[in-house]
Every structure is written in C-alpha cells, then in structure tokens.
Amino acid sequence: MNKKKNQRYLLGYDTAAGEDRGTQRPPNSSPGSEHPSTPQQLTIQAGFSYEELAVATNFFSDADFLGEGGFGCVYKGILRNGQEVAVKQLKPDSRQGDHEFQAEVQIISRLHHKHLVSLKGCCISGAKRLLVFEYVPNNTLEFHLHGRGQPPMDWPTRLRIALGSAKGLTYLHEDCQPKIIHRDIKAANILLDHNFEAKVADFGLAKFFLDTKTHISTRVIGTFGYLAPEYASTGRLTDKSDVFSFGVLLLELITGRPPIFLIRSIEESLVDWARPLLTQALNDGEYDAFVDPRLRKKYAHNEMGRMVACAAVCVRHSARRRPRMSQIVRALEGLVSIEDLSEGATPGHSTLSSYGQHYMDMRRPKNTLTSHYNADSEYSATTTSEYDMYSSGTASEGREKGSST
C-alpha cells in the first residue's frame, strides 16, 4: 500500500476530541452545546495495553494505515469486542510529539459533544504513546469537497455539515471552562459519518483560554488560507481567530474552492477573491456568480443567503466585529436575521488591509511543498508545513511571540 497516496484525506485523526455522552445541558448553555460537560480533573475513559492495540491494528500493518501527520501515524483497529477505532501512534523520536501527546490528552479528555470526535482511551508503554479514538468512517470534508473525481455534495448536506461543525466549535468556545481555542479549523479536520454529520477533530494545536484574558500571545501555528489576519501578523490569539477560520470553511462549502488556489499561475486567497462578491450578493440577493457550479443552482435561496451572510461576518478583518459561534448557529438555523447578524456593518469590510496581503507577507518556513490540491483537485495551490510533507493542508509557523496560558 502506498502510504503517501492513501493518507491525504484521513488526517483529521492526527489528533481529535470527545463526543456526546448524554450529560445534562446547563440552563445557560449555548445552542451549539447540546450535551456539554466541563469536568475539573483529567480523566481517561480507558487504558489500553500496547499489545492489545498492536493486535487490533494487525501490528500496525500497511493494510490498516489511515494517515500520517507531523507527530505520528494513524491506523484503523478492531478491538476484541469488535469495535472499530482509530489508533494514533506517536513518533518516538519527536520531542514536540511528547508535548503534543500531553496536550491532546489534557484537552480531549474534557470534551463531550456529539460533533466532536471522541477519545476512547490511551496507552503509555515505555517510550510508546498512543491515542485511541472513535472511528469515523466517511473520510473528511476536504476529501468530499475537493477530492478529484468525488461526486458533488448537494446543498442540504453542505448545510448540515456547516451547522454541525458550528455546534462543535460553539461548545469549545462557550461551554467549556476554560474555553478552548482550536487553532486549526479547516476542511481536513472535519470528519464525516455515513450520514454526513460533522465531527470536529485534531486538537493538538488547541489552547485553553481564560475569561480573564483578552488574548493569548503565542507562536503562529495553523494552516495557510485559514489563519485570521491579526493572528497571522501578531500572534495574538482569541476565539475570534477560530471564527475567521470557520468563515473560510463556509466559503469552501459555498464556492467549492479551496482556501488558497491558483488563478493564472498566481496564488489567490479565497477570502480576498470572495469578499467583493459576498458584499454584492448580500446587496442584491444574487448568489450564482460565486456559488459552486456543481450545485447546478439547486439550493434553497434563503438558506444560501444565511450561509453567505455568516461567511461574510466571520471573515471580517476586525476580530472584535466577528460574531460568536453561538450567533452563527442561530443564524444558520434561521433564528437570527441577516441584519441582526451584520449589526449594521457592511459584511467582510473594515479599515484593515486585505487578508491576502497578510498571507503573502508572512515569512514561510524553508520547506515549501506542493499541496495535495495539485494532484487531487481541479484547483491547485502551494502550501507550507512546519511538520512534514504528509500534513494535510499543512501547518505554518510564523514568528515567536512567547506564550501564556
């Protein structure tokens, strides 16, 4: 089996989160948090032996290989009780990887929501570190939306994925104590079940965010095309950084285009390309100029209007003028008007420079690699990874700003 070929769209398992466990919803919880839970101490659902996981994955065979990320390989496994799981084996020679493992376990053991991938347990055996997640069988949003030869996703499916992803992110921001900033929201980190219900995955870059702080200053890590401009240029991280990334995700669902693509051999940011079209569409109510042509105009006009409006306000330059994720959930459900969501401002506009300028001005790492969009999508782009050539969408690291937690 060719690992490079088969790992492309399976890297949502590179790190992951929790699921709905049926806990009670607090009276003041937001619409995205159907069954939140905020335990105060670290708990692990189950401990697995290394031998048990080796047997489950046929001794980590190529036939069960799902993908490879910066810190380890992921394999499909079948436990002794017949349950399918995804097993992530951390690379033993990665110093960052050990820190990454601890961060993942600390974060994902606290998360319980049906739109987050669940942690089943972990294994610590000598120098070996493994995480065991629920197996989500239907690949990633990136695969279904951008993979060459994939049938077009219909409109109801796109809306369902947007709403599920928004609910999962709302839970992280508004119902976890302290709140959690994902830092790498992208199509490759949205896993799908057979009903195309979305599950947010990959929490290896996530950060806790105390309500007493206005922002976190940290090194810039994320994926080109999804980074909020203020985070990309200064390292100042807030929950509104995730909101911007989610806006890019909505633009992908609307247009069918990846976050960075080529136009006449020139890299183009999806945000900058779509911004004037969004403004015009919200003024005249006509969406066909930028909606994915593969939809063949088969979409509910009012639902498209709501998603377009949500995308526009999420990718505003000014972080403070972006909405909360709970507002996005209500808007996608039709419970908030477009006018209320926009708060009187022209969606997508502010006095700051364009997102594309921030993107192009960022100092990229030395290892610049060709993105999978070249080989597997009708669009093409280049991207850069701070990890390795197998990262999906790839993460970038900018200047160091120091960190606080």
The helices-and-strands tally (H runs, E runs) of the chain is 13, 17
Q: Which string of b and e fits 170-190 if b means at least 16 CB within 10 Å?
A: bbbbbbbeebbbbbbbbbbbb
Contact (Cβ atoms closer than 8 angstroms) between residue 85 and residue 132: yes
Contact (Cβ atoms closer than 8 angstroms) between residue 152 and residue 293: no
Using alpha carbons, select from 221, 34, 218 the residue that is nearest to residue 116: 34
Catalytic residue among 64, 184, 202, 239: 184
From residue 135, alpha-carbon distances to 66, 77, 79, 90, 371 in Å are: 11, 9, 11, 17, 26
Residue 88 counted as an annotated binding residue: yes
Residue with tokens 């996530």: 206
> In the annotation, is 340 catalytic?
no
Cis peptide before 229 (omega within 30 of 0): no
User: Based on C-alpha coordinates, what's the Rg of the chain?
Assistant: 20
DSSP result, 209-244: E-TT-S-EE---EEETTTS-HHHHHH-EE-HHHHHH
Contact (Cβ atoms closer than 8 angstroms) between residue 45 and residue 37: no
What is the Cα–Cα distance from 167 to 264, expressed in whole angstroms?
Answer: 37
Binding-site annotation, residues for ATP = 88
Mark the binding-site residues, compressed into ranges: 88
Active site residues: 184
